[in-house]
Amino acid sequence: MTTNFTTEESICESSLIHANICVDAVARNEAISEDSQIKILQLKTKNGKQNIGNWTDRRVWVEWPFVIRQKGKFTIKAEIAMEAILSGFNVIVDGKSMNSKVESTGGFGEFKTVTLGQTNYLQAGEHSIQIKPKKGKWQPINLRSITLEPFATVPK
């Protein structure tokens, strides 16, 4: 079963517990002056799959809505490519933040699936997830997907 998520930019079909990178991500930025040289994220295609690329500015973050059908705990995984040795960011689910870091995948075209953390129990219903770079820890990444995989569910 799938659902359509409407954002400020478009409608994108996503599974209930998987947010594919398409134009369903809403790029956000913190207060930035007009004279800033900010580079907003770009939607790129690599090997026929879309990804968020050119994510060089730590003041910019992405956010997705998602729906959970059954209360449970989830492992958060991401398909990421990066050149730097280490990049740090916060993964925020419904306002609850967890520190996360990823190591080099060997380059911006070398995507690997990495575990970013685990959620507390989430109730069935609508939620949001954000990826926010950490000041002093952020290095550019390409982001292809965010996946929430259930590891503990509670019967209805």
pLDDT reported for residue 155? 62
Considering only 3-17, 18-32, 121-135, which range has the smallest mean pLDDT? 3-17
Q: What number of other Cβ atoms are within 10 A of residue 123's Cβ?
A: 12
Q: What number of other Cβ atoms are within 10 A of residue 82's Cβ?
A: 24
Whether 109 maps to a domain, the answer reads: yes
Whether 36 maps to a domain, the answer reads: no
Angstrom distance (rounded) from CA 60 to CA 55: 8
pTM as predicted: 0.74
Question: Residue 81's domain spans which residues?
Answer: 2-29+41-153
Whether 34 maps to a domain, the answer reads: no
- The DSSP bridge partners found for residue 131 are 62, 91
Q: What number of other Cβ atoms are within 10 A of residue 79's Cβ?
A: 19
Whether 71 maps to a domain, the answer reads: yes
Query: How many structural domains compose the chain?
Result: 1
Q: Do residues 60 and 37 make contact, with C-beta atoms less than 8 angstroms apart?
A: no
Whether 68 maps to a domain, the answer reads: yes
Maximum distance among all alpha carbons in the chain? 53
For the chain, percent of residues with pLDDT exceeding 90: 41
Whether 79 maps to a domain, the answer reads: yes
**pLDDT 10s digits, 73-101:** 999 999 999 999 999 999 999 999 999 99
Q: What number of other Cβ atoms are within 10 A of residue 146's Cβ?
A: 23
**pLDDT 10s digits, 34-70:** 444 445 567 777 777 888 887 888 888 888 888 888 8
CATH of the domain at 130: 2.60.120.260
